[in-house]
Structure 1
């Protein structure tokens, strides 16, 4: 029996090796790990090449005259609410440790070694000049309406201020929340607003809204539509902020300000204002049909213009909604939904959102264009109400206070990190900064280290600021090489000596047994001859 054991084991090992060699594909591969770089029909996962399309000319004016239809967000009963706890996202990304690193190496958190502030353009719903910005917000342009505060310095929606706060807020030591890069210069460009609508009564020559308060609306927020309880829909709950933050900012909406054309112009304007980083937490969502629209083509050219002029462009991946279904189809190369500008992944850092568990948030739109991910739920940021010095961690949806969440608020985490990378490595180009952030992310367990949910993974600010990136050092990145077929298999033991040894031992043992049997038989026969049976009988 012992002779059969090694042979049986050797046969089993050989069978296993044979199966692994002949059928390596038996191990299932996740659908998200499949190659989605090419489209089998039309342009779905990737946009068509840009070609000779030129970036748009910046008019510096709204595309249509808009008037305020809903009052701006306001302080709740005049009180400033300041949550003291540190947001989970800031803890997850180790923001406080990152700030210590920057101060010990560069001497600041958001400034170049020479002292000049990194310039981050926020293209959004405008920014309220909150005290925690310390006067570092510069109004650049307004594609919605003229306001007494100056271009880009009114935020009726309450969205742009929260986005900018995640990037650049500089709070006091007793407050847990702080911006990722609290010393950068913010360039505010208001490009969209859901509180404004087209003013059909105004002449085209007015170029916008001459009266800051539209019908039923004013700067105090006392007018506008009401919810089911008869309260203005811009009224804030304690610690809360404007309504409809979770739905994101979308373009080309009826009865709202903001088009792809003015978004493209805003990108060009930010580039010409010498921005180092552009944050775009507004986008356009449409069904994937294999085509690209004129507005999308213009935006694609604007984004390329920005990157070619050494500007890092960061965009929110988009939130699911009634008009923006999730990409949950079987073939990732044929998405149901296209989101721009994230679609232009060659030139954009597209940011998905994760929740407190570290998993991709259920509202974050999937797609082959997703580059990285960052915290997008349980958000705390600056209160966008005019005159407020507090923070906001709630929003009002259908009259009920809810947490602030969305890919809109994941993108500014990445923009803040990009600003810090630019400050610490001022010689890197925009594309090198984008590559460093993706290279140092916490890669998912998928083929190629990326999937359609979180892209190359959740950002790791500490690694982005400290890791050695081979391409920056002139070192070719490590690659997987297939071993030659004539090399021995891993752990391929030679069982022949053991089989021979056991066979020889078994043969020797058998020979010994036979010898003992023969000797025993001979002795017994000799005994029987010496004592015959009849000699033992008595006479």
Structure 2
């Protein structure tokens, strides 16, 4: 029996500007900016999950969202998409968990251009961090949560068969319990994804800096790094600034928060793509999923590891569709002078038959028109010569 993968998400920080206001259930809790109706958000265009949906939407994957809870009243989550059970929380006063969950699995909806990466996945909201509504208006998340509580949340995610554990708000320091929880998660086959979110120079967050964890940096629309945290443990980068996602306080509507700037959003994008990879390649181990995500990333301009962007910006289509050698090693496991293996993404999905037929007819028409033009030119030339053959000059 195949065990569904689980993505565990640990809360985010949102920065939003009010628009089309919705009433929050409590004055102290997070408020939506409105229902987002602008152009497709730039981060969503960069990751382009819709291009992958003909291959996989993440169906069969259980995505555990660890953090501040997930607002079950936001109707961009499908009925039944939020799982229940011991330790789950379907309310979210703080709002950061709902933002993370939306990046991973919000449904496409005609009222908005925003959608999550893996809308076929189910979500398991586990609260480990209470947070506060004041944090939902900040652009920094390096305060983190208690490492002991985070360790317990990771253990609960593993107990629910987590396949991917996303830590969007990591802890500011490590503990034996947290290291042990990460080790247990990896032994279970999970991919542990953690945001590099420290804002103080030289600071590290955990389990981001723990060996074997996929540490995620974040980029803005210009491609520049968002976070201060840096190190040789950074794996990949993804969109983490000026983004859109689902909001808590929706009150039974499709509601969003924007613009959102937080390194945790980058980790949420990577975790969503990891869920797509697990759905499309159920035979892969957790470490093989991590390797695939790093090897297929768009390399930095230098071609080498960047301390704030890792091995480059996430390439979702290549990560899911590429053919890789069975024994390929992650880029950090070999000297940088060794060339990376060839990464061959699958061809883009074929156009519908009607489009192909129309294209064939159009090409045939062009060819006939060209032939007709040549014939007319030849006849006119022959008439000018009174139908006498021209002399051949070598």
Q: Find the counterpart in structure 1 of residue 77 from structure 2.
A: 133
The answer to whether the Cα contact below 8 Å between 1:170 and 1:182 also exists between their aligned partners in 2 is: yes
The answer to whether the Cα contact below 8 Å between 2:36 and 2:114 also exists between their aligned partners in 1 is: no
Question: Please, which of 161, 164, 169 is the counterpart of residue 106 of structure 2?
Answer: 169
Question: Please, which of 66, 89, 105 is the counterpart of residue 123 of structure 1?
Answer: 66
Q: CA deviation at 1:265?
A: 0.8
Alignment of 1:33-432 (within 5 A): 71-74=28-31, 80-100=34-54, 102=55, 108-111=56-59, 117-129=60-72, 130-134=74-78, 135-140=80-85, 142=87, 151-173=88-110, 175-195=112-132, 243-248=136-141, 250-251=143-144, 258-285=145-172, 296-320=175-199, 325-326=200-201, 336-344=202-210, 346-361=211-226, 363-394=227-258, 403-432=259-288
Q: Find the counterpart in structure 2 of residue 467 from structure 1.
A: 322
Q: TM-score, normalised by structure 1?
A: 0.54
SS in 2 for 1:387: coil
User: How far, CA to CA, are the matches of 2:86 and 2:114 in structure 1?
Assistant: 29
Offset from partner CA, 1:86-139 (integer Å, 9 cap, x none): 000111122221223x2xxxxx4112xxxxx21121111110012111121124
Give the direction of change, closer, same or farther, for the CA distance of 1:389–1:84 in structure 2 (3 Å limit): farther
User: How far, CA to CA, are the matches of 1:375 and 1:479 in structure 2?
Assistant: 26
User: How far, CA to CA, are the matches of 2:338 and 2:107 in structure 1?
Assistant: 48
Q: Find the counterpart in structure 2 of residue 329 from structure 1.
A: none
User: How far, CA to CA, are the matches of 2:263 and 2:206 in structure 1?
Assistant: 13
Offset from partner CA, 1:266-290 (integer Å, 9 cap, x none): 101100101221111111225xxxx
Q: CA deviation at 1:358?
A: 1.4
Give the direction of change, closer, same or farther, for the CA distance of 1:481–1:421 in structure 2 (3 Å limit): closer
Give the direction of change, closer, same or farther, for the CA distance of 1:261–1:465 in structure 2 (3 Å limit): same
SS in 2 for 1:356: coil
User: How far, CA to CA, are the matches of 2:301 and 2:176 in structure 1?
Assistant: 34
Question: Please, which of 429, 454, 462 is the counterpart of residue 309 of structure 2?
Answer: 454
Q: Find the counterpart in structure 2 of residue 14 from structure 1.
A: none
How many residues align structurally?
Answer: 309
Give the direction of change, closer, same or farther, for the CA distance of 1:437–1:72 in structure 2 (3 Å limit): same
SS in 1 for 2:212: coil
The answer to whether the Cα contact below 8 Å between 2:142 and 2:172 also exists between their aligned partners in 1 is: no
Larger Rg: 1
Structure 2: runs of 5+ lacking an equivalent? 1-25, 340-394
User: How far, CA to CA, are the matches of 1:176 and 1:170 in structure 2?
Assistant: 10
User: How far, CA to CA, are the matches of 2:142 and 2:91 in structure 1?
Assistant: 16
User: How far, CA to CA, are the matches of 2:98 and 2:84 in structure 1?
Assistant: 12
Offset from partner CA, 1:312-345 (integer Å, 9 cap, x none): 111111141xxxx12xxxxxxxxx312111011x
Q: Find the counterpart in structure 2 of residue 65 from structure 1.
A: none
The answer to whether the Cα contact below 8 Å between 2:32 and 2:257 also exists between their aligned partners in 1 is: no
Q: CA deviation at 1:81?
A: 2.5
SS in 2 for 1:264: helix
User: How far, CA to CA, are the matches of 2:85 and 2:312 in structure 1?
Assistant: 33
The answer to whether the Cα contact below 8 Å between 2:57 and 2:276 also exists between their aligned partners in 1 is: yes
User: How far, CA to CA, are the matches of 1:179 and 1:481 in structure 2?
Assistant: 36
User: How far, CA to CA, are the matches of 1:141 and 1:458 in structure 2?
Assistant: 36
User: How far, CA to CA, are the matches of 1:479 and 1:269 in structure 2?
Assistant: 37
The answer to whether the Cα contact below 8 Å between 2:168 and 2:267 also exists between their aligned partners in 1 is: yes
The answer to whether the Cα contact below 8 Å between 1:249 and 1:281 also exists between their aligned partners in 2 is: no
The answer to whether the Cα contact below 8 Å between 2:96 and 2:136 also exists between their aligned partners in 1 is: no
Q: Find the counterpart in structure 1 of residue 377 from structure 2.
A: none
Q: TM-score, normalised by structure 2?
A: 0.72
User: How far, CA to CA, are the matches of 2:102 and 2:338 in structure 1?
Assistant: 46
Q: Find the counterpart in structure 2 of residue 435 from structure 1.
A: 291
- Deviating more after overlay: 166-175 vs 352-361: 166-175
The answer to whether the Cα contact below 8 Å between 1:141 and 1:188 also exists between their aligned partners in 2 is: no
User: How far, CA to CA, are the matches of 1:157 and 1:479 in structure 2?
Assistant: 43
The answer to whether the Cα contact below 8 Å between 2:105 and 2:118 also exists between their aligned partners in 1 is: yes
CA RMSD of aligned residues (A): 2.7
Runs of 4+ with deviation above 4 angstroms: 476-482
